[in-house]
Amino acid sequence: MTAAAQPQPQPSTTDRAIRFGKRILMSEYLILYLCIAMFVGLYLLSPTVATPRNISNLLSNMWPLLVIAVGQTFVLIIAAREANRKRIGAPASLGTPYVRGERGH
């Protein structure tokens, strides 16, 4: 004779919330989630954050960082030596105003 299977107790709402929080904190997309939360929070404080002109301005100011991030990611993917920030990042950030045409006349 087999014993009757005991029903599993349902996790409480608090337990589910804690598991969800741990899953978010340990996620590889944590920075993306934080950026989205920050954008939504800023939008609630000032709706002008989401205007097309402001978003275009943000993206145009961030492209040098994107170029450096993609380059460093490529270096890490091909298992080469990690790029040193002092040798790669600093000259790239110093050269950015010249590439963008902001020579400070």
pLDDT at 79: 62
Helix axes of 52-77 and 90-100: crossing angle, nearest 10 degrees: 140
pLDDT at 73: 81
From first to last of the 105 residues of the chain, give the pLDDT tens digit: 555 667 777 878 888 889 988 998 898 889 889 989 999 999 999 999 999 999 899 888 888 888 888 888 887 777 655 545 556 666 666 666 666 666 555
Helix (H) or strand (E) holding 25: helix 13-25
Using CA atoms, how far apart are residues 22 and 40, in angstroms rounded to an integer?
A: 22
Domain ranges of the chain: 14-50, 52-105
pLDDT at 65: 85
The pTM assigned to this predicted structure is: 0.51
User: In degrees, to the nearest 5, what angle opens at C-alpha 72 toward C-alphas 104 and 40?
Assistant: 75
| Angular region, 79: left φ>0, alpha ψ -120 to 50, beta rest | left
